[in-house]
Structure 1
Amino acid sequence: MSERAPLWLQGADIQQLLNLLVDRLDSADQRGTRAQSVALGAKTWPALYDAPFESAKETLWEHLGEIVRWGWLAVKPDGVTKLRSGYDRDPRVTVLDEAALRAAVGRPERVRSASERWREAVFAGLAASEEVKRQVGEFCIDMPDRTVDEVVARLNELPALRNKSLLLREVSAQLFWGMSKVLDKRQALVAALLGLDDCPFPESPVQLQVYLPSAGFRGVLFIENLMTYDRAVRSTSPEFDGLALVYASGFMGSAQRLRTPDGCSLFFSDRGGNARDLRDGFKAWLFGKGAQPAYFWGDLDWSGLRILAAMRSSFPELTAWQPGYGPMLLALLAGQGHSPEAAEKQGQKAIASTGCPYADDQLVPPLRQTGRFVDQELFRP
């Protein structure tokens, strides 16, 4: 190529092909392999193959031939670029001069992914053994307003907090410029950095709102949504007689720490019984020293059933509350449900089994068949 590149090299049609080839180079580099040849066709070079006129196709093909003569690319079968309609011969393109190709599209090097940049920063800046670096490298921390080097530097300050009585989110806030949630679900990272089997900093206590019937309770009902919980507390329906009502917000209710005194903060409703023996009885059940039936009532959708399944890991006796789900099931079968898209729930994934026979036999099949959901708030207790 002459010192001055032709204007057509910067044209959108040629740049489309060149950028595709650089994309393939980047993908191969990320995988640690060598880029393969690229078959030309409507999917790889639509500007040529979808062009409305043969003259336009032939002009683009001539430009490709020129690039081949510069030594940037090779095209098989040999000599195909010399044919006026060689693009119809199933050609394949191989990059010969990567530097020149990258310069032509203004992409001198591959942009590293966040995970790659994180691992590079960890191995370069973390004050730890190679094995610990490897473990920490699996937990990418990507902050839009901080470089990965800055984040790794803050991780080097973690050992100084080791013996302090802090919650995990307090540790996060102290390390990461006041941001308290950075270490959520990264306890293994903390443990690895401190050389421990488990993270020494507990998570924030789960806060439970609890209503206790004045006459005592014969079972416990976890309710997913706050509005429904409040309605149930105020309800005179006999369905709630003898039930302690608990507001369990989303998956928070599934946390194992909920069943330990240090991992749970209880807030008892002033509408319920205030006797100390009532509260002590509930605490005894919650912390594993009592035996009472337990139920869950939430939205009739995949997310609600996943909460049920997750909570059963903490409460193996937990089952779906039939007096609540029964009317919701009838509404679903009567066509009153809504589509996932209507309530921005299209991301919910179906669950095969919750472990609760009633939910698995009576609720899961209709959800699959109808493809629709029913919100708990449709029913006023």
Structure 2
Amino acid sequence: MRLSLDQKTAPELHSAADADQSQLLVMLLDDLCETGWVALRIEPSRPFATFTERKPRLELCHFDELASWAGYTPQAMRWQRRWLAHLAAQWTAGSVTSVGTVPADPQLVLDYLARSPLTQLEGLDLAEATRSLSALIELCRAGRPMALREASARVFQGRSKLLDSRGELLRLLGASAGQFFEPPIQLLLALPRDEGFADVLFIENLVTFERMADARAQVWDRSLLVYAAGFRGSARRLRSRQGCRLYVRTPSPHTDVSAVESWLFGAADVPVTFFGDLDFSGMQILVNLREVFPGACAWQPGYRILVHSLSQGGGHLPQQALKAQQADPGETGCAYADRELLPAMRHHGRFVDQESFDYEQLQSTTEGV
């Protein structure tokens, strides 16, 4: 975040009576920057240009420290503090109106909300927010199994995602283990023509999955193609019957998925590969997939095409495709990804989307790389 020191935000700088007053203000800015909370950004010096003509601006580096020094409390935190005080008052022995809506250990819940606030409730009337939390306590104590997002939507004014990653809160409110569950992962399967398969190929993007399922080139003619919508395909519940549902792309009266179930839910040893975007996020999916299938590796025939495109100047800069925030995973554990794919991305500073994969070039390109 940057703040331009223009006439509106820093009128003192622009109306300084003389050079000494202007220099004093600049020195004060330098003192502020020495704290490390902010940094001064300014255009390069040029003949006769004054400090303000060089477009000075402050870049925020450490908000929390600066806010603490200035005594500033964000609006959201002010609401949260009022709500915590309201809850504490409601949960004291003298003001409880419904024993069934008070958590077993109110202080533990208050401590949790102080360090992990429910920011999506900001702006609600305090009494309404408290009623929502009371409804959640009652739902937890009832012990009724329910999809997590269904429970969230029921008690929090239709907000279905508010309880995501809130397992600790649910436990503190009395939920039993497994009472609130994630929806099952849906795996879309494309079986080989004779339905027997020699290996499994996870594909990140639906467009590529459909093209490869239609094409059935020799390289993946015997592969079971699986589409699981990116990261969701690497969740651990993928390998439990309760956490996963199988859907066959082109079922027939003779379709038999018992071999798929034997591999996915049993102990059948089948080679697993992954093919996705040639970017850091795709490599992170591979990392997560290897937690579920330890031997999984990057699918070399497809990635060789994408790496070849990089070497020829193809692909895009991360910021050109909203990927600038992707973090380099460092290592995936897959030798090919760690020795070839990640170094190629780092060297060229570019990514390639999986949809650019052209299977018609597969034979000639892989032989020439």
User: TM-score w.r.t. structure 2 length?
Assistant: 0.71
In the alignment, does 2:271 pair up with 1:293?
Answer: yes
Paired position in structure 2 for 1:54:
18
**SS in structure 2 opposite 1:353?**
coil
Aligned positions, number = 289
* Partners of 2:79 and 2:123 within 8 A in 1: no
Structure 2 counterpart of 1:310, one-letter code: N
Task: Tell me the residue number matched to 2:112.
Answer: 135
2:13 & 2:113 partners in 1: Cα distance? 47
Question: SS where residue 333 of structure 2 aligns?
Answer: coil
The one-letter amino acid paired with 2:228 is A
Kept in 2, the 8 Å contact 1:329–1:363? The answer is yes
1:148 CA displacement: 5.8
Q: Distance in 1 between matches of 2:298 and 2:16?
A: 61
> What is residue 84 of structure 2 aligned with on the other side?
122
1:234, 1:131 → 2: CA distance? 55
User: Match of 2:342, as an amino acid?
Assistant: V
2: distance between equivalents of 1:244 and 1:168? 31
Matches within 5 A, 1:158-307: 158-162=136-140, 163-194=143-174, 198=177, 200-215=179-194, 216-270=196-250, 275-276=254-255, 278-307=256-285
**SS class of match (1:282):** helix
Structure 2 CA distance for partners of 1:265 and 1:195, relative to 1, 3 Å: closer
Partner Cα separation in structure 2 for residue 274 and residue 233 of structure 1: 19
Q: What amino acid sits opposite 1:368 in the alignment?
A: R
Give the AA of the match of 1:206.
I
Residue in structure 2 matching 1:359, options 328, 337, 347: 337
How far apart in 2 are the matches of 1:149 and 1:350? 45
State the Cα distance separating 1:123 from its structure 2 match.
Answer: 5.1
- Per the TM alignment, residue 53 of structure 1 is displaced from its structure 2 partner at its CA by 4.5
Q: 1:145 to 1:116 in 2, by over 3 A?
A: closer
Compute the displacement of 1:138 (Å). 2.9
Partner secondary structure for residue 181 of structure 2 = coil
CA distance in 2, matches of 1:217, 1:269: 15
* Matched residue type, 1:283: E
Q: Percent identity?
A: 36
Residue 289 of structure 1, CA deviation: 2.6
Aligned residue for 1:322? 300
Deviation at 1:56, TM superposition (A): 10
- Evaluate the alpha carbon distance shift between residue 358 and residue 158 of structure 1 in structure 2; reply closer, same or farther with a 3 A threshold: same
Deviation, structure 1 residue 222: 0.6
Deviation readout 1:276-305 (Å, 9 max, x if unpaired): 5x4011012111332111111000001111
Q: Letter of the 2:117 partner, please give it.
A: C
Distance in 1 between residues matched to 2:148 and 2:294, nearest whole Å: 27
Q: 2:288: which partner in 1?
A: 310
Q: Using the alignment, how far apart are the partners of 1:274 and 1:161 within structure 2?
A: 44
**1:287-333 deviations in Å (ceiling 9; x for gaps):** 13321111110000011111111122222121111111011111111
CA distance in 2, matches of 1:286, 1:148: 48
Question: In 2, are the aligned partners of 1:205 and 1:262 still within 8 Å (CA)?
Answer: yes
Q: Take 1:119 and 1:190, find their aligned partners in 2: how far apart are those partners?
A: 21
Match of 2:68 in 1: none
Q: CA deviation digits over 1:245-295, x for unaligned, max 9?
A: 11121211121111111111211111x66645x401101211133211111
Distance 2:344 2:72 in 1: 49
Provide the secondary structure at the position in 2 that maps to 1:251.
helix
Whether the 8 Å contact between 1:212 and 1:273 is mirrored in structure 2 is: no
Instruction: Give 1:54's aligned amino acid.
Output: D
**Letter matched to residue 268 of structure 1:** V
Closer, same or farther: CA 52–115 of 1 in aligned 2, 3 Å: closer
User: d(CA) in 2 for partners of 1:110 and 1:48?
Assistant: 22
Q: Which amino acid aligns with 2:180?
A: F
Amino acid at match of 1:267: Y
Matches within 5 A, 1:17-56: 47-49=11-13, 51=15, 53-54=17-18
Structure 2 unaligned blocks of 5 or more: 1-5, 26-70, 92-101, 360-369
Structure 1, 369-378 or 178-187: larger mean CA deviation: 178-187
- In structure 2, the residue corresponding to 1:221 is in which secondary structure? strand
Using the alignment, how far apart are the partners of 1:55 and 1:326 within structure 2? 62
Note the alpha carbon deviations across 1:218-263, whole angstroms, 9 max, x for none: 1111100000000011013111121101112121112111111111
What whole-Å deviation, never above 9, does each CA across 1:97-142 have from its counterpart, x for those lacking one?
Answer: xxxxxxxxxxxx9544524533552353163321232124333222
